[in-house]
Structure 1
Amino acid sequence: MRWSGRQWLGDALGGAVVALLSLPMTVPLGALAFAPLGAGFLPAGVAAAFCTAIVGGLVAALAGGSPLQISGPRASMALMSAGAIATALDQGARPDQAVAVAGLSLALAGGLQVLIGRAGMGRVVRYLPYPVLAGFVNGVALLILLGQLAALLGLPPSLSWRALPGHWRQVAPLAPLEALATMALMAWAPRLTRRLPPLVLAFAGGSLVDLLLRSVGAAPDLGPRLVAPEGLSFWLRGPALLAGLAGNAALPGWLAAEMPVIVVLALVGSLESLLSALSLDAASGSRHDPRRELLGQGLGNLAAACCGGIAGAGAPIRGLASYRLGGRSRRAAVIQCLLLLALLCWGRPLLMHLSYAVMAGIMVMVALSMGDLWLFRLLRRDPRRFGADALVAALVAVVSVTVNLAMAVLAGVALTLLLFMLRMSRPVVRTVRDGAGARSRRQRPLAAERYLAGQRQRLRLASLDGPLFFGTADRVCQDLAALWPETAPPGCLILDLGRVGHVDLAGLRMLDQLRRDQERRGHHLLLAGVDLEAARWSWLRPAGLEAPLAAGRLFAGLDQALEAAEDLLLAGGPHAETPEVAPDAFALLAGLPDAARRALTAGLERRGHDAGAVLFRQGEAGDGLYLLSRGDVEIRLPAQGSHPPLRLARLAPGTLFGEMALLDGSDRSADAVAVQPCVCHVLSPAAFAAFSGLYPAAAAQILRNIGGELAERLRLANSRWQDGM
C-alpha cells in the first residue's frame, strides 16, 4: 500500500508539472496552427491546441503502447496543421470550411496511423532518409523562428514575417528585451536547478517580468497579451463543422489537394511518437509496443479531429519531465489532461495575462534546440562525400519555408531516391578479361591442354559488382555487347554474378537479352555465382526465365563455369572428350615398342567405381599409377574440423594420377573420389617391376613420359599464372 501511495504521488506530481510545462507550448502552437486564418482566429487556435492536449492526449495515453508517453501539440505537427488550413484556403474554402477540411485531413491521417500500427509497419516509418529528416527538422525550426518574429517585436502574432518591413513603426521597444530576458532565463535554468524543466522556469520568470513591467505603466511598450481562448464551445462546434462538409461538391478537390499533407502528417506523427517512446525506453529501461503506440496515436488524432483539434504526437520533453518527477504510469498523462481541462474551463481569465513576447522567447529557444546541424558539420569535413546529403537537407528546409512541410518531405524523398539511383547506377562491370590466365581445376590430357591454350582468346570473363536493376541493366548490356568484334569466331562469355547483391526484373530481362544477343552472334553465355535457391534469384522461375537462361548455362561457382566453357571450346575439335579412352591411347605409352605396349596393357588391372566411391585416401600406401579411362575423379584434401573438403583438381578421361607410387613409393598425399561412375586401369608397383625386368628401356621411357608430363603441366601452370597477372 505504501508503494501504491508513492506511485500515486509521483504520477500526480509528474502530471501537474507537465501540465504547467505544456501551457507555454500549447498556447503559441495553437496560434501558430491557425495563423493562416488571421488574428481573429487566434483564440480558436488556442482552444484547438487545448483540445489536442486534453482529448487527443487522453485517448493516446489510454490506448498507446508506452505507459510513460504524454502526447500533445508539437511544433512540427502544428505547422503541418497550418499547412492543411493554408492549402484549403488556397483551394477557395472559407475560413470555417478550411478548419473543417484540416480536421478531416487530421482524421484521415489518424486513420492512416491506425492502419500503419495494425499492419506492423512501424519499422517502415523509421526508414525515412536521414537527410530528409534533418531538413524537415531544420525547416520546422526556421518556420518557428520566422513565425515568432512578429511577437518578438511586440506586433500582432498573426502578422506574417513577410509583412514585417511595413510595420517597423509599430514595434514595441520593450517586447524584444522581455523575450531576450525569457530566453536568457531558459538558457541559464539548468545551472539554477535540475528539478524543474528550464521551460517552466523561463515561463514563470518571463511572465513575472511582464507583470512587473506592466504594473509600472510600461504596457504600451510590451506588445499584446493573449486574448482569452474559446472554451468548450469550440469543441462542440467541431462535429458541426465536419458535418457541414457533407454534400459539398468541392470536397473531393480539397481532399485531393490535402493528400500530401495527410500522408506526411501520418508519417511524421508516427515517426516522432516512436522516437519519443524510444527515448522514454532508454530513460526507464522499459520497452514499448510500437504497434499499440501507433494505434493510440492514431486514435488520439481521430478524437482530437472530431472536436476541432490540431495534429499532435508524443513528445519526449513531456514524458521525460514526468518520469524524472516520479511519473511511472498512464495516470500522469490523465492527470495532466484533467488539469489542462480545468484550466480551460475555469482559468481562462488567467490566460489573458500571458505575454506573446514571453511565449515567443520560449518558442525561439525551442526552435534553436531543434536545429540539426550535424550533417552540415560533416559537410565542412568532407564536402565531396556529404555534399549531396547536405543538398537534400537544404532543399527540404527551403521548400518547408517557401511552400509547405508536406511538399518539402515529398521533394526530399524524391531527390533522395534520385541520388540513390545515381549512386547505385555506377558501373557494375567490375573487371573484363580474356581467358589467357583463366583455367578451371579440371585436368585434361596434355594434347587437350595445349589445344585449349591456343583457344583462350575465344573466352571472356566479366565480373559484376553491385545491384543489377533498372538503373544499371542497360549500361551492363551495352558494355558486355561490345566485348566481341562482329567478326570474332564463336566463343564463350562467362558472367560472374557472385558479387551481385540484388537482381530485379529489369536485370533478369537484361540477362535474357544478353543471352539472345550472344547466341545470335554464335557465342555462348554462361552465368556463374547463380544459386536458384537464393532469394535474389528466386524470380527466375516465376518470370519464366529459368529454362531459357539455364539450359546447362547456370553454375553456382566460377570454376564450374570455366570447366563448361572449356568443354564448349573443345567440342567439335580434334580433342573433344570421348566416352572412354583405351589404355594404349594414353600419352604414358608414347614411344614404346608394340611388344612393350601389349605387355604393359596386359599388366594393367581394370577397376570400376560407382559415383562417390573413394579410390584411395590421404596417408594410405600407394597401390599404383591410375589411368582414368572413363568418368571424372576429384582429388581432394580431407575435411579439417568445420572446414569442408578442399577440391584440388577434377580429372578428365585420358589423364593419370597417383604417379608418385611408381616414382618414390610415397604414401597418398590426398583423397581420390569418383564424381561419376568411372573406369580406371591401375599399374601396380609389382606389375611395373615385372615389366621393367622384361623391358628395361621401355620402363625408362615410361618414367621419362611421366616426368615430361609433370614438367609440361608445370610450364602450362606458370604460363597461365603470368598471363593472369
Structure 2
Amino acid sequence: MPLPQLHPFRPRLLALRAGYSRQRFLADLGAGLTVGIVALPLALAFAIASGLRPEQGLATAIVAGLLISVFGGSSVQIGGPAGAFIVVVYGILQRHGLANLLLATMGAGVLLFTMGALRLGVLVRYIPVAIVTGFTNGIAVLIALAQLKDALGLSHVPMPADFFGQVGVLGAHAAGFNPWAVATAAAAVAVVLVWPKNIGQQALSGLRRWLALLPSTVIVLVAATLATALLDMPLETIGSRFGGIPRSLPALAWPDASWEGLRQLVIPTLTLALLGAIESLLCARVADKLTPELPRHDPNQELMAQGIANLVAPLFGGMPATGTIARTVTNIRAGATSPIAGVVHALSLLIILLVAAPLAVHVPLAALAGILLVVAWNMGDWHEFARLRRFNFTYRTLLVGTFMLTVVTDLTVAVEVGLIASCVFFVWRMGQLFTISRFDAGVLPEGVVAYELYGALFFGAVGKIEALAEQLPAGTRAVVFEMRRLIVMDTSGVEALRELHRTLAKRSVALVLANINAQPLDLLRRSGLAAELGDAAIVPSIADLKSAP
C-alpha cells in the first residue's frame, strides 16, 4: 500500500520574492504596528484570564505570532493567544499544572503539524456549523463568567474551574464587591463599545475619523492605568498580583515532564489541537472573504504553521496559540497585504515589552476584565438562538446540546458528544431518504414485480431490504430492482441483497438487478455477489427483460 503523499511545505511568505513593492511594504508596516498595539491588552488579558502570568500572553503573541506569519498559509492572518483557549487552558492548569499545560500545548503542536502534512486541513470543514456555533457560544459564556471575579473586585476569592462552582462562589461573595472595580470594568465596557470603529472608512470625518485610528482597547488600557496610578484607586493591578512584567522574553526552557503526567495529557492535547485547528481555519476563511483580491489560504500549510508555533511557544512559557479573528480583521482593515504585517505585529510587541514593561504594574485587572467581557460578547453568535425555530430538530439539538455541554462540562465532552450525535442524525436521515417503491415498468411477464431503489443503500437503510421478502404479492416468480437512482452502496447493502437473494431462492423466486451505477456494480463484482446471481440476473435495463428469469 503506497504511503500518503505529504503536503509540500510552502509558506505564503515565500511568494513575496517577486512583485513585492515599497508601497505594499509601507502598507504592511502600518497595519502591523496597528494590530500590534491592539494585540497588547488582549495578550495580557487572555493570559491572566487563563490563570497564567501576563508575560506568558505577551511571549505567546510575540513568538507564536511571528512563527504563524512566517510559516503560515494565509496572507493576512494574525496568530497569538485567543479567547477560545481561556476556558480550556484554565481547566488544564487547575487539573494538571503549568508544566503539563506546556507539554500538552507542544503535543498539540505536533498533532497540528502532522494534520497539515497529511493534508487533513480540509477535514475541519466537515464539522457541522451547529457544533461550532454551540461550543463557541458556550466558551463565550464561560469567559464572561470567569471575568466577573475581577470585574467585581473579588481578588481574595479562589475560583474553581467548573461552571456551577464558579456560580456558587460568585453568588456567595458578590455582596463583598469593590465599587471601584465595578465602575472601572463598566467604564471599560462602555468605552470599547462606543469608541468609533470604522477605521480607514470614509463614513467618518474630522475628529471621529482620527479617534477611530486609536484602538478602543488601548484607550481603555492607557486611561485605566493612568487613573489608577494618579488617583491611587484601591484596585488590584498587574503589579499587586504578579509583581510586574520582566523587560524580556522568558528564558528558553524545556518544561518538566513525567511519565505519569504525560499519560493524563492525551485528552487535553487532543482538545487543544482540535480547537486550534478549528479556530485558525475559520479565521483564515473569514480573511479570505474580506480579501478577495489576495490568494486564498492554504489550510494544510496553515495547520503546519500553527503546529510549529505551538511547539516552540511553550519553550518560552507561552500558552496555546491560533489564528485570531479580531486581530486578523484589524490587520485587514488597516491595509495589510502580506504576512509581513504579521511579522511587524510581533516585532512591535517585542519592542513594547523591552521598553514599556515596567508601566504595566499599574494596569488594573478590572479594566482587563471589562475588555474581555466585550470580547466574550463579540465572540458569541447570539442571534442563532433567536433563529433556532427556523431550523430542523437536528440542528436545534446539536446547537443547544453542544452549548449546554460546553458550559456545564467541558469543550472536549461537548465536541465529542456533538460529533457522535451529528453522525447518528446523519445516518438516520440518510436511512430515511433511502426508499424502495413499486416501479411502473410497463408490461412485464406474469409473476414479475419491479421495485425502484432510491438513495444510498448502506448499513443504516438495510432494514428496508430485509423486510421486502415478506411484502411480495402471492404468485411472485421474480423481483426486479431498478437501480439507476441508487447512487452508492456499502458492504452492508451487499450483504442485505445477498440475504434477500438466498431467501427468495428458497421460494424459487429470482432476483434481477437492472440499470446499476458504476460504484454499486463494482462492489457487487468485488464481493462475489454478481457471480452468485449470474450474468442473466444483471441486465442493462428492465426493457431488456424478454421473459421472466
Same fold (TM over 0.5): yes
Displacement of 1:14 in angstroms is 1.8
What is the aligned partner in structure 1 of residue 443 from structure 2?
439
Distance 1:556 1:30, change over 3 A: farther
What is the aligned partner in structure 1 of residue 26 from structure 2?
9
What is the aligned partner in structure 2 of residue 159 from structure 1?
159
What is the aligned partner in structure 2 of residue 139 from structure 1?
138
Displacement of 1:483 in angstroms is 1.9
What is the aligned partner in structure 2 of residue 124 from structure 1?
123
* Matched positions, count: 510
Check conservation: 2:245, 2:360, Cα contact below 8 A: no
- 2:519 corresponds to which of 535, 538, 560: 535
DSSP-derived class of the 1:567 partner: coil
Displacement of 1:23 in angstroms is 1.5
- 2:489 corresponds to which of 503, 523, 532: 503
1:476 and 2:460 matched: no
- 2:548 corresponds to which of 567, 574, 580: 567
Displacement of 1:266 in angstroms is 2.2
What is the aligned partner in structure 2 of residue 395 from structure 1?
401
Check conservation: 1:137, 1:370, Cα contact below 8 A: yes
Displacement of 1:225 in angstroms is 4.8
Distance 2:212 2:147 in 1: 22
Distance 1:252 1:281, change over 3 A: closer
Unaligned 5+ segments in structure 2 are: 1-19, 161-165, 198-203
Distance 1:513 1:33, change over 3 A: same
Distance 2:196 2:539 in 1: 66
DSSP-derived class of the 2:388 partner: helix
Check conservation: 2:135, 2:403, Cα contact below 8 A: yes
CA RMSD between the two structures: 2.7
What is the aligned partner in structure 2 of residue 623 from structure 1?
none
Distance 2:192 2:109 in 1: 34
1:340 and 2:349 matched: yes
The share of aligned pairs that are identical, in percent, is 29
1:549 and 2:533 matched: yes
DSSP-derived class of the 1:120 partner: coil
DSSP-derived class of the 1:470 partner: coil
Displacement of 1:438 in angstroms is 3.3
Structure 1 stretch 148-157 or stretch 105-114: which is displaced more? 148-157
Distance 2:399 2:92 in 1: 22
Displacement of 1:228 in angstroms is 4.1
1:75 and 2:83 matched: yes
Check conservation: 1:225, 1:354, Cα contact below 8 A: yes
Give 1 or 2 for the bigger CA radius of gyration.
1
What is the aligned partner in structure 2 of residue 215 from structure 1?
230
Displacement of 1:139 in angstroms is 1.0
Distance 1:521 1:198 in 2: 83
Distance 1:198 1:543, change over 3 A: farther
Residues 531-583 of structure 1: per-residue CA shift (max 9 Å, x gap): 3xx234432233232311343212333333xx25x333xxxxxxxxxxxxxxx
- 2:185 corresponds to which of 156, 167, 179: 179
DSSP-derived class of the 1:352 partner: helix
- 1:276 corresponds to which of 274, 277, 283: 283
Displacement of 1:176 in angstroms is 2.3
Residues 454-498 of structure 1: per-residue CA shift (max 9 Å, x gap): x3xx2222222222111111x11332021237xx44511112222
Displacement of 1:522 in angstroms is 0.8
- Aligned AA for 1:523? V
What is the aligned partner in structure 2 of residue 599 from structure 1?
none
Distance 1:203 1:179 in 2: 14
Displacement of 1:301 in angstroms is 1.1
Distance 1:215 1:506, change over 3 A: same
Check conservation: 2:224, 2:364, Cα contact below 8 A: no
What is the aligned partner in structure 1 of residue 74 from structure 2?
66
1:23 and 2:40 matched: yes
Distance 2:301 2:315 in 1: 21
DSSP-derived class of the 1:501 partner: strand
Unaligned 5+ segments in structure 1 are: 35-41, 441-451, 569-725
Residues 499-532 of structure 1: per-residue CA shift (max 9 Å, x gap): 222211101110111111111111011112313x
What is the aligned partner in structure 2 of residue 649 from structure 1?
none
Distance 1:427 1:278 in 2: 32
Check conservation: 2:192, 2:220, Cα contact below 8 A: no
Distance 2:533 2:55 in 1: 67
Query: Higher relative contact order by CA 8 Å / sep ≥ 6: 1 or 2?
Result: 2
- Aligned AA for 2:411? L
DSSP-derived class of the 1:250 partner: helix
Check conservation: 1:207, 1:358, Cα contact below 8 A: no
- 1:33 corresponds to which of 50, 62, 67: 50
Distance 1:350 1:71, change over 3 A: same
Check conservation: 1:197, 1:321, Cα contact below 8 A: no
Distance 1:205 1:114, change over 3 A: closer
- 1:235 corresponds to which of 227, 247, 250: 250
Counting only pairs closer than 5 Å after superposition, residues 290-305 of structure 1 correspond to structure 2 as 290-305=299-314
Displacement of 1:224 in angstroms is 4.5
Give the TM-score normalised by structure 1: 0.65
